[in-house]
């Protein structure tokens, strides 16, 4: 039959559109948004000043290669700026990598509870997303390797993973890499790397530096507090940088984002304050919520995954409604195949204490 209107390419209409965490609670005077893993400390004052200064040149196009930002990142991490690509958030870079390395009939692997963007970018290219089971809400290297076929072209690994907060040791990541064919691209999504305190963790820089088929993606949205500006970067082999730059939009990062990013990456003191706040309250929330009888998946990121029973009146949906009525907005993660869980971002001291108190009241009320 002849089409009567333009048709999207195969795979596009199979995509379940990404739905961000809610940010409002009608009728509630004060809102604590704890649904999007935003930093409660916000950006540093130096970042705000740099952003405001960019207003003096809004009529000018930004530097299309974000060279000063790439150089600043290179100085901080000891990397070659020519092997860095910046994007409008790490999501932008994940899309570019998918478009560059996937086509009709290919397969891309992600884990069952991995970031929702992975199947979205995969389906958008006409490729097939393959979800691999996790073990204790953690990526399973053996399961991933078992899922690899001749059609596999990309493996997406969020490390730490969102929304579970778990991560693989560097030894496990290296074992995964060793088991992959050389023509399969391993994408290490390290959006939450700055929060990890484990000694056996490495964000992926070393593996990228010594491999031809590994990319590491990072973001300024979390610890740097620049989620509103949309800014991310990736470190990759030169041949992958070349491919991505050929399809990247010529001005995919704004001048304001570049200026703010440079100030953010250089403000080590602010990053440390944010990290210390997170470390303190991550441990406190895990312990206090656990005392209430709720299971919390051990997290290394800036959020915790709270599991609820299926008992009527005690479900995650029930808890979500109860908390929202108090102005406490968490993330219901059924879209991540976790219908019995809520993800709680680490907030201010006030917000954290209010959540624990509210959960206690929720569990105490008649079912």
Instruction: Return the CATH number at 171.
Output: 3.40.640.10
Q: With beta carbons less than 8 A apart as the criterion, state whether 34 and 354 touch.
A: no
Say whether both 183 and 68 belong to one domain.
yes
In this prediction, residue 365 carries a pLDDT of 84
Residue 5: inside a domain:
no
Say whether both 223 and 296 belong to one domain.
no
The CA-based diameter of the chain, rounded to the nearest angstrom, is: 63
Beta strands in the chain (DSSP E): 32-33, 84-87, 107-111, 128-132, 152-158, 185-189, 214-219, 232-235, 295-297, 303-307, 328-329, 331-332, 341-345
Say whether both 113 and 225 belong to one domain.
yes
Say whether both 38 and 51 belong to one domain.
no
> How many H helices and E strands in the chain?
12, 13
Distance CA 155, CA 137 (A): 18
Query: Which of 256, 240, 211 is closest to 53 using CA atoms?
Result: 256
In this prediction, residue 287 carries a pLDDT of 98
In this prediction, residue 236 carries a pLDDT of 98
In this prediction, residue 8 carries a pLDDT of 86
- Tell me the per-residue pLDDT of 312-337, one tens digit each, with 9 for 90 and over: 989 999 999 999 999 999 999 999 99
Say whether both 103 and 249 belong to one domain.
yes
- Tell me the per-residue pLDDT of 112-165, one tens digit each, with 9 for 90 and over: 999 999 999 999 999 999 999 999 999 999 999 999 999 999 999 999 999 999
* 299: CATH: 3.90.1150.10
Residue 58: partners with Cβ closer than 8 Å, 6 or more residues away: 255
pTM of the predicted structure, to 2 decimals: 0.94
In this prediction, residue 20 carries a pLDDT of 77
Instruction: Determine the structural domain holding residue 229 and report its residue range.
Output: 45-267
Q: Determine how many CB atoms are found less than 10 A away from the CB of residue 85.
A: 27
Residue 1: inside a domain:
no
In this prediction, residue 68 carries a pLDDT of 98
Distance CA 94, CA 100 (A): 10
Ranges of residues in the chain whose predicted pLDDT is under 50: none
Distance CA 217, CA 95 (A): 12
């Amino acid at each position: 039959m002849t089409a009567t209107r333009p048709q999207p390419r195969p795979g596009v209409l199979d995509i379940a559109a990404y739905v961000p965490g809610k940010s409002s609670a009608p009728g509630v005077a004060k809102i604590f948004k704890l649904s999007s893993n935003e930093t409660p400390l916000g950006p540093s004052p130096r970042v705000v000043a740099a952003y405001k200064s960019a207003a003096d040149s809004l009529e000018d196009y930004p530097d299309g290669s974000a060279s000063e930002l790439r150089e600043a990142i290179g100085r901080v991490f000891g990397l070659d700026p020519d092997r860095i690509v910046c994007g409008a958030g790490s999501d932008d870079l994940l899309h570019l990598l998918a478009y560059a390395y996937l086509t009709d009939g290919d397969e891309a692997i992600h884990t069952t509870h991995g970031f929702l963007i992975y199947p979205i970018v995969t389906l958008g290219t006409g490729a097939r997303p393959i979800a691999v089971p996790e073990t204790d809400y953690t990526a399973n290297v053996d399961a991933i390797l078992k899922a690899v076929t001749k059609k596999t072209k990309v493996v997406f690994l969020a490390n730490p993973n969102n929304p579970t907060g778990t991560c693989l040791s560097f030894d496990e990541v290296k074992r995964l890499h060793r088991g992959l064919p050389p023509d399969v691209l391993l994408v290490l999504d390290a959006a939450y790397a700055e929060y990890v305190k484990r000694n056996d963790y490495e964000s992926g820089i070393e593996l990228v530096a010594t491999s031809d088929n590994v990319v590491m993606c990072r973001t300024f949205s979390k610890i740097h507090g620049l989620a509103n500006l949309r800014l991310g970067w990736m470190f990759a082999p030169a041949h992958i940088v070349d491919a991505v730059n050929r399809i990247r939009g010529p001005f995919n990062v704004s001048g304001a984002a570049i200026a703010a990013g440079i100030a953010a990456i250089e403000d080590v003191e602010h990053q440390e304050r944010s990290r210390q706040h997170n470390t303190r309250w991550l441990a406190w929330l895990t312990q206090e919520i656990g005392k209430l009888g709720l299971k919390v998946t051990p997290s290394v990121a800036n959020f915790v995954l709270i599991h609820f029973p299926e008992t009527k009146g005690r479900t995650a949906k029930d808890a979500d409604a109860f908390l929202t009525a108090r102005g406490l907005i968490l993330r219901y993660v059924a879209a991540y195949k976790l219908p019995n869980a809520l993800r709680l971002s680490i907030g201010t001291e006030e917000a954290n204490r209010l959540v624990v108190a509210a959960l206690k009241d929720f569990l105490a009320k008649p079912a």
